[in-house]
């Protein structure tokens, strides 16, 4: 049991320590650790967790770590996973606050070069999970216009239509209505099949 808690802590500590660029940049490493390496969740379940974590308040990576930890070891697992995610950032920021200042970073050519070199890597880390998530969500050329249009509208910053909360609500409502419609179709099909079987049995 303790070994499992330690694995959760170590996996998410590595995620928190070696990812730059925020929540979306963490997704590729989280997926590799959680889905591919440790097999704690399936690919489809990870995509669902990602959608829920992004919709809820708080840090994306912490929300995912809490959900994964809760599934593996309950409340203790949530604490271990979230502590592993948060601790590296806390220690790094504490070290920067003690030893470095914004002026020192801007005036030091070595540090400036390091941070400039990290920028392209951060962009790649953000693009990679977008592609893998799109594949897992089975987005095709026929439906790719939906996320593209939403991204453009959010990027536009226009009042109301530029608010991402609007699309979270619309996406959840649309998914609910779609599943409800599918359930009605399946129920109707099953009812018709039973009716036809009963009719054929009566004729026999």
Three-state DSSP at 79 gives: helix
**Are 15 and 84 spatial neighbours (Cβ–Cβ below 8 Å)?**
yes
SS (H, E, C) 25-60: HHHHHHHHHHHHHCCCCCHHHHHHHHHHHHHCCCCH
Neighbouring residues of 146: CB distance < 8 A, sequence distance ≥ 6: 139
Q: Which residues of the chain are under the pLDDT cut of 50?
A: none
Structure confidence at residue 197 (pLDDT): 67
Residues 122-176 have pLDDT tens digits of 777 677 667 766 766 667 777 778 888 888 888 888 888 888 888 888 888 888 8
Residue boundaries of the structural domains of the chain = 1-138, 142-204
Q: What is the pLDDT of residue 79?
A: 92
Query: What pLDDT score was predicted for residue 23?
Result: 63
pLDDT of residue 20: 65
For position 198, what pLDDT does the model report? 64
Residues 6 or more apart in contact with residue 39 via CB below 8 angstroms: none
Return the structure tokens found at 63.
């929300």
Q: How many CA atoms lie within 13 A of 155 on its CB side?
A: 6
Provide the terminal-to-terminal Cα distance of the chain, rounded to the nearest Å: 61
Rg of the chain taking only CA atoms, in angstroms: 23
Res 57: pLDDT:
76
The distance of Cα 184 from the centroid of its chain, to the nearest Å, equals 30
Q: Hey, what are 42's tokens?
A: 């399936």
**pLDDT recorded at residue 199:** 62
């Amino acid at each position: 049991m303790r070994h499992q808690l330690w694995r959760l802590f170590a996996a998410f500590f590595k995620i928190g320590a070696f990812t730059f660029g925020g929540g979306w940049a963490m997704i590729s490493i989280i997926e590799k650790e959680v889905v591919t390496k440790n097999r704690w969740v399936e690919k489809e379940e990870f995509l669902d967790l990602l959608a829920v974590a992004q919709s809820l308040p708080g840090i994306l990576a912490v929300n995912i770590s809490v959900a994964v930890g809760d599934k593996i070891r309950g409340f203790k697992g949530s604490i271990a996973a979230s502590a592993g995610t948060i601790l590296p950032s806390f220690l790094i920021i504490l070290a920067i606050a003690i030893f470095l200042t914004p002026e020192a970073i801007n005036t030091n050519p070595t540090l400036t070069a390091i941070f400039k070199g990290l920028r392209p890597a951060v962009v790649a880390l953000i693009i990679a999970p977008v592609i893998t998530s799109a594949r897992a969500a089975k987005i095709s050329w026929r439906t790719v216009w939906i996320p593209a249009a939403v991204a453009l509208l959010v990027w536009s910053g226009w009042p109301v239509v530029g608010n991402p909360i609007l699309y979270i609500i619309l996406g959840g409502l649309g998914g609910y209505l779609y599943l409800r419609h599918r359930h009605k179709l399946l129920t109707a099909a099953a009812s018709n099949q039973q009716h036809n079987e009963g009719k054929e049995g009566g004729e026999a």
